[in-house]
Amino acid sequence: MFYEDLSEYDYRDEDAFTDRESGFYALWYRPAYTRLNIGWLEAGKPYSTGTVPTVVVEKLKAVQEVQWMNVCLGVHECDLCPAGEAPEGNGEVRIPGGPGFAYAAPFLITHYVTAHGYRPPQAFMDAVLAVDLGVRTVARRPFSLGSGGRGTHVGVEASEAHVRSQSRIEATVTGPWKT
C-alpha cells in the first residue's frame, strides 16, 4: 500500500480505536480532523531517506505502546524486506498535527525508519516529539486530539462520533469463526 507523504488519507472513512487496557470494546468514529498520510512505503516507490533522531523513534514506539488504531484491518507486511524476513504490523498510529489535522501512519513506520532509512517529513517528527504521553487521552484516544498535546479539543465531538459498542468477548462467543 503506497501513499505519498502528506497526501490526504482516504483509505477508509472511519477510524477505530481499541481500548488497550480493557481490550473489551472498540470505538468507530468518523474523524472531524483531516488525516495526512505518513510512511506508507511500498517496494518500487521512491521515498525520502535520511537520519532520524533516536528520540523520535523512541517516542513513536512509546505512542504505539499505548494507542491501538485500526487494528481490525489486519496485518500489514513490510514488502521492502526479503520474503520470509519481513516483519508485520497490525494497525496504524495517529499523531496530532495541529488544529484540525492528524498524521496517519502505518504501524510499521518505526521499522521503515530503523531498517530502511526512511525519513519522514520534519513536520511529522516535530509533531511526534510534541506528543505529551503524560496526557493519556491525547496519546490513547486520537478522537480527543489536542493541539500540540495541550488538550484543546479539535477532533470529533460526541454528537459526531457514532459509537458502536462492541465487546470482544461477545464477538468471540457469537462470531461465525467460533462455531
* Residues forming the site for Zn ion (CB under 5 A): 78, 80-81, 115
Closest distance of CB 87 from Zn ion, Å? 6
Using the minimum distance from each CB to Zn ion, give the nearer residue, 38 or 156.
38
What is the rounded CA–CA span in Å between residue 52 and residue 74? 28
Using the minimum distance from each CB to Zn ion, give the nearer residue, 33 or 40.
40
Using the minimum distance from each CB to Zn ion, give the nearer residue, 73 or 81.
81
Closest distance of CB 114 from Zn ion, Å? 9
Strand partners, 104: 37, 94
Closest distance of CB 81 from Zn ion, Å? 3
Using the minimum distance from each CB to Zn ion, give the nearer residue, 29 or 118.
118
Can you say whether the dihedral through the CA atoms of 55, 134, 8, 99 is positive or negative?
negative
Q: Rounded to whole angstroms, what are the CA distances from 85 to 49, 58, 63? A: 21, 23, 25
Question: If we measure between CA atoms, which residue out of 116, 55, 115, 67 comes closest to residue 92?
Answer: 67
Q: Rounded to whole angstroms, what are the CA distances from 179 to 83, 169, 174? A: 34, 15, 8
Closest distance of CB 58 from Zn ion, Å? 19
* β-strand pairing of 26-29 with 92-98: unpaired
Using the minimum distance from each CB to Zn ion, give the nearer residue, 81 or 123.
81
Q: Rounded to whole angstroms, what are the CA distances from 21 to 77, 85, 122? A: 25, 30, 32
Closest distance of CB 80 from Zn ion, Å? 4
